[in-house]
Structure 1
């Protein structure tokens, strides 16, 4: 078991939101690969799933090389993330199943609830961006695949190719609604309605995130001003305490001196 763990990706470090996002995308990618391998699909649906898999692999490779460039120890990074690189090569289909190791890493980390939740709470901005990335890829994947399956081969349908389905999904999720491609079946209308609702929610989160980027500096400035005021008040309180302590010591000394004089007079 120890020998196997030595060759698996490292899971001892604290999990970041983007690492979790890559692992969730790995699950989605494995599902796509399984469908491509075992499901009976028409040619256009296979092309669409292949395009989606290539897009996810591009995200994987971008994340891998970004981490490699930022890493101080390149060899250590490659040694602990080599399987991520191998699993991200879209042209080597058998190696795509290596992404299962990433999912096993998620399961292992979920069992360690503290190491799984606390980093996400600490890194809210990164968690937001990672969530948006996963949501975007997931919605585009399912919506484009479903609409192509439902509309392909239907008379008068204008969504017939993989490119048509991806373009329709992008336009619909953004709620732009060009109208050049649209579903003609009832099932297609239902899928479109769900995608529109998801798109409104998706871009609502993006708007809130962008607003927080502009508001955050003002809040940081306000917190800094408040902390300066608190520090100033603390210094003033300490100075007053010091003055009071000096006066108290002087009064005690005077009292002791008076007591000595009284004792001398009584004698």
Structure 2
């Protein structure tokens, strides 16, 4: 990548935690599409993966239109992100593989910035939100698919449809535990226990994130306060410099007056060698 291409890419798009989250969701979606295309699945599991892929497409469309309405130059935004809109269309398998271009674009941005830590550290609130989004989608996807595969076809099981698996995953990760759907196999119990642990950790992070928003000021407010403080210090420094300069000019003027008021004969003697 030459210098001109770097400048153009940096001008049109910068690496953000939410963009990294979209890349990870794109990777998850591509795995789902490949599973639908090549794996031998029962109808309920296939329908469940279709629902998951459609939900991810809704997230992609929301992110696309958010960036579109937020951008100043909408024509330039469409020029550089039209592939994201095409890849976000659900129920069209040919368009789903276009999400690979989004992954490649993010990889190019990572190569340009040379570090993942810079956007993750400087934008901590967005990093937390993006991490929560990826974690929630990943946990719901894996738990519902694995639970449906494990429980489906077992005598006495009550998680037998895609809707049952999704509802069980949502209720379990939220630690509500209605008890209307539950696993009966040993492997299902293990999956349920892991989901409960992830759910407790997940909502613990959400509680900490909400507390940081309500109690601590945001990054923008901190930067604005720091900028105002630096501006005030600079103004005070300029005032002190100006005051010192005025004092020096006054002393120079006073010395000049003293020299001019001296006796002319004394001035003449001072000029002799």
TM-score by length of 1: 0.79
Matched residues in 2 for 1:22 and 1:227: separation?
A: 36
Matched residues in 2 for 1:143 and 1:27: separation?
A: 17
Once structures 1 and 2 are overlaid, which stretch shifts more, 42-51 or 87-96?
A: 87-96
Q: Which residue of 2 aligns with 1:54?
A: 54
Q: State the Cα deviation string for residues 92-138 of structure 1 (Å, max 9, x = none).
A: 21111111111222333333453643222221111111111111101
Q: Which runs of 5+ in 2 are unaligned?
A: 256-273
- The secondary structure found in structure 1 opposite 2:97 is helix
- Pick closer, same or farther for the CA change 1:68–1:179 going to 2, 3 Å: same
Contact 1:173-1:199 within 8 A present in 2 as well: yes
- The within-5 A match list for 1:207-222 is 207-214=207-214, 215-216=216-217
- The within-5 A match list for 1:1-267 is 13-114=13-114, 116-214=116-214, 215-216=216-217
Contact 1:14-1:115 within 8 A present in 2 as well: no
Matched residues in 2 for 1:225 and 1:83: separation?
A: 41
Matched residues in 2 for 1:122 and 1:219: separation?
A: 12
CA RMSD between the two structures: 3.4
Matched residues in 2 for 1:187 and 1:102: separation?
A: 36
Contact 2:15-2:113 within 8 A present in 1 as well: no
- Pick closer, same or farther for the CA change 1:115–1:225 going to 2, 3 Å: closer
Matched residues in 1 for 2:64 and 2:242: separation?
A: 56
Cα offset, 1:237, TM superposition: 8.5
Matched residues in 2 for 1:88 and 1:79: separation?
A: 16
Contact 2:148-2:162 within 8 A present in 1 as well: yes
Q: Which runs of 5+ in 1 are unaligned?
A: 253-267
- Pick closer, same or farther for the CA change 1:169–1:43 going to 2, 3 Å: same
Aligned residues: 258
Q: State the Cα deviation string for residues 1-28 of structure 1 (Å, max 9, x = none).
A: 99xx9xxxx6763111111111110000
Once structures 1 and 2 are overlaid, which stretch shifts more, 236-245 or 204-213?
A: 236-245
TM-score by length of 2: 0.77
Q: Which residue of 1 aligns with 2:266?
A: none
Contact 1:109-1:115 within 8 A present in 2 as well: no
- Pick closer, same or farther for the CA change 1:240–1:65 going to 2, 3 Å: closer
Contact 1:88-1:96 within 8 A present in 2 as well: yes
